[in-house]
Chain A
Amino acid sequence: MVLRMKQTPFFAKHTACGARMVDFSGWQMPIQYPDGIVAEHLATRKHAGLFDVSHMGRFQVSGTGAPGFLRHALTNDCDRLAVGCAHYTMLANATGGAIDDAFLYRLGQETFLLVVNASNKDKDRQHLQTVLKGFGAVDFQDVSDPMAMLALQGPESETILQTLVTEAMLPQPKRNALGQLKLCGVDTIAARTGYTGDPVCFELFIPAESAEPLWDKLTAAGAKPVGLGARDTLRLEAGLPLYGHELGIGKDGNEIPVFAIGQAPFAVSFDDPVRRFIGRDVLEKQAAAKQRYKAGDFSDTAALPKVVRQMRLLDKGIAREGAEVYYQGQEAGWVTSGTMVPYWTVKDTVLTDDHAQRAVGLCMVAPHIPVGSEIEIEVRRRRLKAEIVARNLKNRRGSVAYAIL
C-alpha cells in the first residue's frame, strides 16, 4: 500500500514556482522556493510573504449549542470573544496538557471557525466530536477541503490586499480583528492573525475553487511565496510555540503543561468562575505556580517543573532541538526548537538593506533561571554560551518587526 500524499489547492502554483516539495503530516508542501529560506524570511519582514497554510485543519462549529460546547472543549472563553474577532486557544486534556493549540474565529453569534494543526487534525476531530455529544444543537463540519487558507504577512501585506478589495473593507487595524469581504470578486474571510510575529498580518479563508486565481493576483501585487522552512524561522524568531516541540510530549517523555509556554495566559481564561472546561483544575494549579514564580517563589514546582524560554546563542554555532541546557553547571533542560535566522540590520528603527544572521531558539528549562542569565548548551560535545532573553524580535509598536540584538 502506498499512502497517497494530499495536495492543497495551490499545489500546481508551488510546482510552477519551482518549489521544493516535502511530505508534511501527509501533505505535499513547499519547504522553500528557489530563492531559499533566508530570502523568504527577509522578504516577509520587509515586504510581504505569502504562505499556503491550507494543510491546517478548519472546523466550522455552529448552532445554538455551539457557544456552550466551545466553552467546555476549549480553554479560552468564547463568551469573551466578540463577533468579528479571533483568539488563541487550547484543546486541553484532563491532565493539563495540550491535545492541540488552535485559533478560534467568531464569524457570527453562533458561528465559529476553529483552525488546528495539520498534524493533529484527525485526533482533534475525534476528540471534539466525542465531547460535543450532550451539547444540544451543534453543527460540526470539517470544512478543510472546500475552504483554502493563505497567510499574508509583513509590512506591505495591507497595501497589497487594499489593491485587491472589490467589496466591503479590510478588518479594522486591530490584532485578531476579522471581516468578510471580496478580494477580486472572491468571497473572503480576512483576519488580522498570523504566525510570524509581524505586526501587519492577515490570514485569508477563501473557497478552494478560487485559490489559484487569487494566488496569482497576490503574487502579481508583490507578495512573495514563502515555504514551511521560513515559516519555521519566522515563528522561532518571534518565540511562538509549535505543537510537537513546545506543546505535546517533551523530550523527557512527559506531557508539557500548557502553562509552560509564555502564551498560555492569552489562551486560557479563568474569568468565569463557574465555567467547567476540560483541564480547568490542573490548569489553575499551573497558573498558580506561574504566579508564584513571578513573585520569586520556587518552593513548589510540581505543577510546572519547566517553562519554555527564548534564548540566543552568544558563541558561534547553532543549538538544535534536543540539545542539553546547563545553568550554573547544572543540567537545566533542553532546547525545544533552534536554528539560525536571518535579520535585517536596523538604523534608527528603520530596516537597512544589509542583513546578517543569528542563532536563536526556544528551550524548556527550570523556572528559576532569570531573563538575562547566561546558560550553556551542549552542541557536539562542546558547550556553547547562550543567553535567556525576554524576546528576540521587537514587534509591539509600528508596522515593522526587527531583531533585538
Chain B
Amino acid sequence: MMIDADAGYLESHEWAKKQDGNVFTVGLTAYAIEQLGDIVYMELPEAGTEVIAGEPFGVVESVKSASDMYAPISGTVVEANTDIPDNPDILKGDAYDAGWLIKIEASDPDEFEDLMDNAAYKKFLETEA
C-alpha cells in the first residue's frame, strides 16, 4: 500500500494517524521508505520526549544519506517502536501499521487538520516524481 486513507501527511513524507483519544501513531510513508533504499540506522526519541510539529523527532540513515524525520503533530512521545531500529525491514512490508515509529500524545489534536489528506499527498507525490 503506497498511501493510507486515514493518515495525514507532511511534505517530508511522515504520516500521523489518530489512534485513540489524543494519541497519534507516526511513521514514514511507503514512498519515503522506497526512496531511502536500505535503511541502516535509525534514532527514535524516548518516551517522555516533547516534540513540536514540523521539527525533527529522529533520524533515519541509509547507506548514502542521513535524514531528519519531522513530527507531524506536537505533543509528548508516549511510546517508540524499538523493534524498528534493529529490524528496519519491517518498514518495507508495512509502513503504516507494523511500521509505526512513535506514538505522540497530542497537545493540540487540531494540528492534524493542517496535514495533507491522502488525496493531497498522492497529488504531491505526482509532482515529486
Interfacial residues of chain A within 227-282, with CB under 8 A of chain B in the complex: 229, 233
Nearest CB in chain A: distance from B9 CB, A: 23
Is B66 a contact partner of A37 (Cβ separation < 8 A)?
no
Listed in ascending order, the chain B residues whose CB lies under 8 Å from chain A are 37-38, 40-41, 43, 59, 61-64, 66
Is B41 a contact partner of A37 (Cβ separation < 8 A)?
no
Alpha-carbon separation in the docked complex, A357 to B43 (Å):
16
Residue A397 is within 8 A (CB to CB) of chain B in the complex: no
Nearest CB in chain A: distance from B42 CB, A: 10
With A36-B37, A340-B41: A31-B64 Cβ-Cβ less than 8 Å: yes
Residue A318 is within 8 A (CB to CB) of chain B in the complex: yes
The interface residues of chain A lying within 8 Å CB-to-CB of B66 are 318, 320
The interface residues of chain A lying within 8 Å CB-to-CB of B37 are 20, 32, 36-37, 229
Contact of B61 among A31, A229, A318 (CB under 8 A): A318
The interface residues of chain A lying within 8 Å CB-to-CB of B43 are 317
Residue A38 is within 8 A (CB to CB) of chain B in the complex: yes
Residue A396 is within 8 A (CB to CB) of chain B in the complex: no
The interface residues of chain B lying within 8 Å CB-to-CB of A317 are 41, 43
Question: At the interface, is chain B mostly helix, strand, loop or mixed?
Answer: strand
Is A37 a contact partner of B38 (Cβ separation < 8 A)?
yes
A/B interface sample: 14 pairs, CB < 8 A: A20-B37, A32-B37, A37-B38, A37-B63, A37-B64, A38-B38, A317-B43, A318-B40, A318-B41, A318-B61, A318-B66, A339-B40, A339-B64, A341-B63
Number of A-B contacts (CB under 8 A): 36
Alpha-carbon separation in the docked complex, A266 to B114 (Å):
60
- Top 5 nearest A-B pairs by Cβ distance? A340-B40, A38-B38, A37-B63, A36-B38, A318-B61
Of the candidates B37, B41, B61, B63, the one having the most CB atoms from chain A within 10 angstroms of its own CB is B63
Query: 0/1 per residue, A17-44, Cβ < 8 Å to B?
Result: 0001000000000011000111000000
Alpha-carbon separation in the docked complex, A20 to B35 (Å):
10
Alpha-carbon separation in the docked complex, A229 to B36 (Å):
12
Question: At the interface, is chain A mostly helix, strand, loop or mixed?
Answer: mixed
With A32-B37, A36-B37, A320-B66: A380-B59 Cβ-Cβ less than 8 Å: yes
Is A38 a contact partner of B59 (Cβ separation < 8 A)?
no
Residue A316 is within 8 A (CB to CB) of chain B in the complex: yes
Alpha-carbon separation in the docked complex, A31 to B38 (Å):
12
The interface residues of chain A lying within 8 Å CB-to-CB of B63 are 37-38, 229, 233, 339-341
Alpha-carbon separation in the docked complex, A31 to B41 (Å):
19
* Beyond known contacts A317-B43, A359-B41: 10 more, CB 8 A cutoff: A37-B37, A37-B38, A37-B63, A229-B37, A316-B41, A317-B41, A339-B63, A339-B64, A340-B41, A341-B63
Nearest CB in chain B: distance from A7 CB, A: 21
Alpha-carbon separation in the docked complex, A145 to B65 (Å):
32
- Closest B residue, CB atoms, query A22: B64
Nearest CB in chain B: distance from A224 CB, A: 15
Alpha-carbon separation in the docked complex, A55 to B102 (Å):
43
Query: 0/1 per residue, A362-385, Cβ < 8 Å to B?
Result: 000000000000000000100000
Alpha-carbon separation in the docked complex, A32 to B37 (Å):
9
The interface residues of chain B lying within 8 Å CB-to-CB of A233 are 63
- Closest B residue, CB atoms, query A339: B63
Alpha-carbon separation in the docked complex, A233 to B59 (Å):
21
Nearest CB in chain A: distance from B68 CB, A: 9
The interface residues of chain A lying within 8 Å CB-to-CB of B41 are 316-318, 340, 359
- Closest A residue, CB atoms, query B63: A37
Query: 0/1 per residue, A162-176, Cβ < 8 Å to B?
Result: 000000000000000
The interface residues of chain B lying within 8 Å CB-to-CB of A380 are 59
Alpha-carbon separation in the docked complex, A36 to B43 (Å):
22
Alpha-carbon separation in the docked complex, A380 to B40 (Å):
17
The interface residues of chain A lying within 8 Å CB-to-CB of B38 are 36-38
Nearest CB in chain A: distance from B97 CB, A: 23
Alpha-carbon separation in the docked complex, A341 to B41 (Å):
11
Alpha-carbon separation in the docked complex, A153 to B66 (Å):
28
Nearest CB in chain B: distance from A235 CB, A: 13
- Closest A residue, CB atoms, query B62: A37
Query: 0/1 per residue, A299-332, Cβ < 8 Å to B?
Result: 0000000000000000011101000000000000
The interface residues of chain A lying within 8 Å CB-to-CB of B64 are 31, 37, 229, 339
- Closest B residue, CB atoms, query A320: B66
Alpha-carbon separation in the docked complex, A320 to B41 (Å):
13
The interface residues of chain B lying within 8 Å CB-to-CB of A339 are 40, 63-64
The interface residues of chain B lying within 8 Å CB-to-CB of A318 are 40-41, 61, 66
Alpha-carbon separation in the docked complex, A56 to B59 (Å):
34
- Closest B residue, CB atoms, query A36: B38
The interface residues of chain B lying within 8 Å CB-to-CB of A229 are 37, 63-64
